[in-house]
């Protein structure tokens, strides 16, 4: 009936899954999100300068 034969087996599997999830988040997902945010901001500034002109003193 029980999924885990002993408490030790369940704890080890859960801890390994948590470590794997942390590694995937820390190494893959968060860096992609950070690059996407910075790249998106750069694209927004670039497009706004194409439409509004470069920054500088008023003419």
**Domain membership flag for residue 59:** no
**Domain membership flag for residue 2:** no
From the CB of residue 27, how many other CB atoms can be counted at a distance below 10 Å?
A: 10
pLDDT at 58 over 80: no
45: nearest Cα among 33, 54, 58: 54
Residue 23 is part of which domain span?
Answer: 10-52
- Per residue in 9-38, pLDDT tens? 556 679 999 999 999 999 999 999 999 999
**Domain membership flag for residue 1:** no
What pLDDT, on a 0 to 100 scale, did the predictor assign at position 2?
47
Residues 6+ apart with CB under 8 A from 49: 55
| pTM over 0.85, yes/no | no
Q: How many domains does the chain have?
A: 1
**Domain membership flag for residue 4:** no
What pLDDT, on a 0 to 100 scale, did the predictor assign at position 7?
55
Identify the helix (H) or strand (E) that includes residue 21: helix 7-24
Sign of the CA dihedral 26, 29, 35, 36?
A: negative
**Domain membership flag for residue 42:** yes
- Per residue in 37-48, pLDDT tens? 999 999 999 999
3-state SS assignment for residue 51: helix
């Amino acid at each position: 009936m029980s999924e885990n034969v002993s408490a030790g087996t369940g704890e080890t599997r859960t801890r390994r899954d948590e470590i794997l999830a942390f590694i995937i988040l820390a190494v893959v997902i968060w860096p992609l999100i950070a690059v996407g945010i910075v790249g998106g901001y750069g694209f927004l500034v670039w497009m706004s300068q194409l439409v509004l002109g470069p920054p500088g003193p008023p003419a």
